[in-house]
């Protein structure tokens, strides 16, 4: 990401990632009945969003791929970290909501 964000863009992006990953996490939890699946899968999604290496290069050339990933992670700006972290928060909130619904007796969830 280029790091040229306005405050409005950051706020909208944070809200969008929070709501989007809450919804995805809620649906996955509801369908697969695995409460924390999206919170576990989310870091892999983040890596696929920020890396510039192909997925199979992590297996064919792991030293180069992980070095490039480390360099990319270090070069993230605060706004990027905030936006990506809000997606993780959304996935965690989805897990908490599903747990509460199951505890309250909703069998569908």
HSE-CB at 4 with a 13 A cutoff on CA atoms is 1
Identify how many contiguous H helices and E strands the chain contains and give both numbers: 5, 0
Q: Establish if 18 belongs to a structural domain.
A: no
The answer to whether the predicted template modeling score (pTM) of the entire model surpasses 0.85 is no
Q: Establish if 12 belongs to a structural domain.
A: no
Q: Establish if 16 belongs to a structural domain.
A: no
Q: Establish if 87 belongs to a structural domain.
A: yes
Q: Establish if 74 belongs to a structural domain.
A: yes
Number of domain units in the chain? 1
Q: Establish if 21 belongs to a structural domain.
A: no
Q: Tokens 């892999």 label which residue?
A: 44
Instruction: Tell me the two tokens of residue 88.
Output: 């993780």
Query: What band does 81 get if pLDDT is binned at 50, 70 and 90?
Result: very high
Encode pLDDT of 83-103 as tens digits: 999 999 999 999 999 999 989
Q: Establish if 45 belongs to a structural domain.
A: yes
> Which structural domain, as residue segments, surrounds residue 65?
1-6+31-109
Q: Establish if 82 belongs to a structural domain.
A: yes
Give one DSSP letter per residue of 45-97, joined into a string: HHHHHH--S-TTHHHHSHHHHHHHHHHHHHT--HHHHHHHHHHHHHHHHHHHH
Encode pLDDT of 20-72 as tens digits: 999 999 999 888 888 888 999 999 989 988 988 888 898 999 999 999 999 99
Instruction: Tell me the two tokens of residue 30.
Output: 């509801």
């Amino acid at each position: 990401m280029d790091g040229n964000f306005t405050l409005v863009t950051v706020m909208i992006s944070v809200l969008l990632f929070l709501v989007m990953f809450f919804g995805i996490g809620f649906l996955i939890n509801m369908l697969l009945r695995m409460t924390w699946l999206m919170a576990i899968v989310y870091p892999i999604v983040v890596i696929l969003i920020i890396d510039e290496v192909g997925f199979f290069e992590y297996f064919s050339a792991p030293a180069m791929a992980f070095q490039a990933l480390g360099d990319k992670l270090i070069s993230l700006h605060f706004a990027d970290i905030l936006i990506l972290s809000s997606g993780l928060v959304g996935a965690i909130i989805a897990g908490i909501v599903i747990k509460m619904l199951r505890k309250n007796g909703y069998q569908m969830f």
